[in-house]
Amino acid sequence: MKFSLVILQLVLVLAPFASSVSLREPEIPAFIKTLKEMHQGPPRHPTTRKSHVKTRWITQKLDNFDETNNKTWQNRILINERHFVEGSPIFIYLGGEWVIEPADIGSVHLADIAKAHKGTILTTEHRFYGESIPIKPLSTENLSRYQNVKQALADVVNVIKVLKEEDKYKDSKVVVQGCSYSATMATWLKKLYPDVIVGSWASSAPLEAKVNFREYMKVVGEAYRELGGDHCYNIIDNATSYYENLFYNGKGAQAKKELNLCSDFDEDDERDQWQYFSTVANTFGNLAQYQNPQNKDLSNYCSNLRNFSDNDYEALSKFVQWRLENPKCVNTKYQDSVDYYLWSKDDYDGEDLAWMFQTCNEFGWFQSSGSRNQPFGTNFPVTLYTDICEDVFGSNYSEANIRKLIRETNYEFGGIENVEGVYFTQGGLDPWARVGAGLAQAATIYPQASHCSDLGSIGASDSAALRASKERIAELIREWLA
C-alpha cells in the first residue's frame, strides 16, 4: 500500500512534464528526402586551405516591421576577416534555405575576389534555418508572422548596419552574392535597399513566384535527353508509363511489390501514388539540378540506370532505391509526409518545414507533372503540394488562397525584371531558369550548365563561357567599388 502511494505521488509530480517530452523522431519519408536534397544548399567545393572562418552572432529583432515588438533573437553568421584592411569592402554570400557552412565562403570565386580587394567575406544564415531560429515552436502562427523574405532581407540589412558600426568597417562598401533562393534575395535586396549595397551577383535566381511550376520537369527531361541520350530518356519514360498503367488498370498491388513500397502504402489512394511518382521525378531532378557537364554526370548516371537491369521498369525501381540509400522499403505514404511536417512544428528538423511554409506562403514553385513534354508521367499534379500546404498549415493555405498569396509576391517584387546593379547568371539546362532572368534581362547563360554552377574559383575545368563570366563579375565588382 505504501509502495503504491509512492508510485502515485511520482506520477502526479511527473505528469506536468509529460507533454513537454518530444515524440520520437519519425522516419523521414522518401518524398521529403528528395525535397531535402533539392534544397540542400549550394554546391560546396573541396579545399586544402586552412579555414580562417569564425562564428559571430548578431542580435536581430523578431519582427523588423513592428516597433512595438521588442523581442530579439541571435542570428548566426560565418565570417573570414583574414585579409581585411580597414576601409576595404565587405562581401556577403547570402544564406538561403539551408544550414550555412564554412565551405560556403571557402574555395569560391567570391572569396578570391574578396582577397584581391583585401576585403572581409561572410555568409549569413536565413531565419528559421540551421542554428538561426528566432522563435519556437514553428507553429503556423509563428511562421506566418515571422518567416518571410521581407523579414530575412531586413535581417541582412541589420547585419550590415551592425558591422558598419565598427570603426574598421564604417567606410566599407558592400557587395552581395546569392545562389538559388538566396540569389532571389540578392536581387530584391538591391531593389528594396539600393543604397545599402553597391551591387549584387545573382546566380540562378528564381524571380517569378508560380504555383504550378510544370516547366521544371520539362527542363529536367531535356537535360537527360541532351546529356544522357534518347535511350536514357526513354528508359525513364517507358518505366513510368508501365507503373502508371499498373495502377490505372487495378494492378496496384503488383506495382507496390515491384517498387518495394512499404506495407502501409495504399495502392488505391491517389495521393500515395502521387507521392511515389513525385519521388521518382525528384530523384532524377536532383541529379539534373546539380549536374556538371564537364564531368558527364548525367551520362554516367544513365549508365548506372541501365546497369541495374535490361528491363526498363526494373532498372528504374532499383535506381530510385539506390539513390534513396536502399531502404528496407520505400515510404511514400502521403499521410506520413504530412505527419512528419506536423511533428517538425514542435521538434525542429533543420530546414524542411520552414521552406515548405515559404513555398506555400510566398513562392509556390511546386514541381508538378503538368507538362506533357517530360518522361515522368502525369501522376503528381500540383494538388499534391497544395494539399500538403493545407493539411500542415491549415485552411488559410488552400489552393485558392495560395494562388492569391503568390500573385501578391509577384506584385510586390515585380517578377522577372531587370534590376540595376544586379548581374544575373543562369545555367542553360537549369530547371529554375524558367522562372528567372533571361537574355531580355541581360543574363549570362552557360550552355548545358545547371543550377548555381559558377560559384567555384576559376579553374581549368571551366568552360569558356563560365570563365568569361567569372572574369566579367570580377570586372563588374571593381566598377561597383570604384
Which domains does the chain possess? Answer: 53-207+416-481 (3.40.50.1820), 211-410 (no CATH)
Contacts of 303 (CB under 8 A, 6+ apart): none
* 155 and 124 Cβ atoms separated by less than 8 Å: yes
Q: CA–CA separation, 134 vs 136, rounded Å?
A: 7
Q: CA–CA separation, 153 vs 158, rounded Å?
A: 9
pLDDT at 347: 86
Residue 49, pLDDT > 80, answer no
Residue 10, pLDDT > 60, answer no
Looking only at the bridges linking them, the beta strands covering 174-179 and 90-94 are parallel
pLDDT at 26: 82
- Given phi > 0 = left and psi -120 to 50 = alpha, else beta, which region is 442? left
* 259 and 247 Cβ atoms separated by less than 8 Å: no
* 306 and 235 Cβ atoms separated by less than 8 Å: yes
pLDDT at 18: 39
Residue 7, pLDDT > 70, answer no
pLDDT at 48: 65
Q: CA–CA separation, 187 vs 165, rounded Å?
A: 25
pTM, two decimal places = 0.93
Q: Alpha carbon 383 to chain centroid distance?
A: 20
Percent of all residues in the chain with a pLDDT value above 70, rounded to a whole number: 94
Query: What is the grid cell recorded at 150?
Result: 521581407
Give pLDDT tens digits for 139-168.
999 999 999 999 999 999 999 999 999 999
Residue 221, pLDDT > 80, answer yes
The 3-class secondary structure across 48-71, one letter per residue, is CCCCCCEEEEEEEECCCCCCCCCC
Mean pLDDT of the chain: 94
Q: Alpha carbon 143 to chain centroid distance?
A: 17
Per DSSP, 476 falls in state H
Query: What is the grid cell recorded at 153?
Result: 532581407
Longest distance between any two alpha carbons in the chain, whole Å: 86
Query: What is the grid cell recorded at 282?
Result: 525528384
Per DSSP, 365 falls in state E
Torsion of CA 216, 222, 226, 227, to 10 degrees: 30
Phi (first) and psi of residue 160, to 5 degrees: -60, -45
* 284 and 219 Cβ atoms separated by less than 8 Å: no
pLDDT at 362: 98
Query: What is the grid cell recorded at 129?
Result: 534555418
For residue 292, CA distances in Å to 56, 266, 384 come to: 34, 38, 30
Give the 3-state secondary structure percentages of the chain, helix then strand then coil, rounded to 5. 50, 15, 35
For 3-17, 102-116, 263-277, 319-333, which range has the lowest pLDDT when averaged over its residues? 3-17
Query: What is the average pLDDT across 437-450?
Result: 96
Residue 15, pLDDT > 70, answer no
Q: CA–CA separation, 271 vs 361, rounded Å?
A: 22
How many helices, marked H, and strands, marked E, lie in the chain? 17, 10
Query: What is the average pLDDT across 224-247?
Result: 98
For 74-78, 279-283, 345-349, 423-427, which range has the lowest pLDDT when averaged over its residues? 345-349
Strand partners, 115: none
Give the residue among 366, 86, 408, 55 at the shortest CA–CA distance from 206: 366
* 187 and 422 Cβ atoms separated by less than 8 Å: yes
